[in-house]
Amino acid sequence: EKPNAFLDSLGLQTLLSFLCSADSIYRLFGAVVIGNIASDSSLHSEIFNSGTMSPLIHTTKIADKESKRCIAYTLCNLCLDNHYSNKIVLEGGLLPVLALMDSTSTEDRISSISTVRALSSKPELRQFIVESDEYYNSRPYKNRISAWASSQSQILDKRDTFLSKIKEFEKKYPDQSNV
């Protein structure tokens, strides 16, 4: 009910003007409201048909952290719709979703992982997910080293084992720009 009320009273073009504002408060307001609208799957077509996707994805490159987070959630909600998920990935919407994995919030990480898992079930999108080097290279050096050292999806026997693997990979990849 509330997503429809916002949409009826403001319209997506007005919300886009908030989203694209130089003022971070307006931008956050636009991101939150568009995110609420995207939580209603019956409104997904309206979001896509209004030309909202391109500015939404572009804004993640210049927005503050909380606006980026709201936009990433919006993209996660929109990716639930199989009809639009390919378009989101092809337009560059995967990186903001992946960026949620770096969050300290468990809820953010679960949302991101769930979305990526759903997207990876589509053979035509797997390549984009696997080749998301831009995201990987944007992560801090220690995060990239830890990703190499981690035995993904396996139980860790001792913390010391993991820490020694990190040291091994730090020696193997001393150049922080080439991990």
Q: How confident is the model at residue 130 (pLDDT cuts 50, 70, 90)?
A: low
- Across the range 71-89, mean pLDDT stands at 90
Which is nearest to 59 in space by CA: 97, 11, 108, 21? 21
Q: Distance between CA 42 and CA 85 in Å, rounded? A: 15
pLDDT at res. 9: 85
Place of tokens 């719709």: 81
66, pLDDT greater than 60: yes
Q: Distance between CA 110 and CA 163 in Å, rounded? A: 25
Q: What's the token pair of residue 74?
A: 């919006």
pLDDT at res. 124: 81
84, pLDDT greater than 70: yes
Q: Which residue has the higher pLDDT, 1 or 115?
A: 115
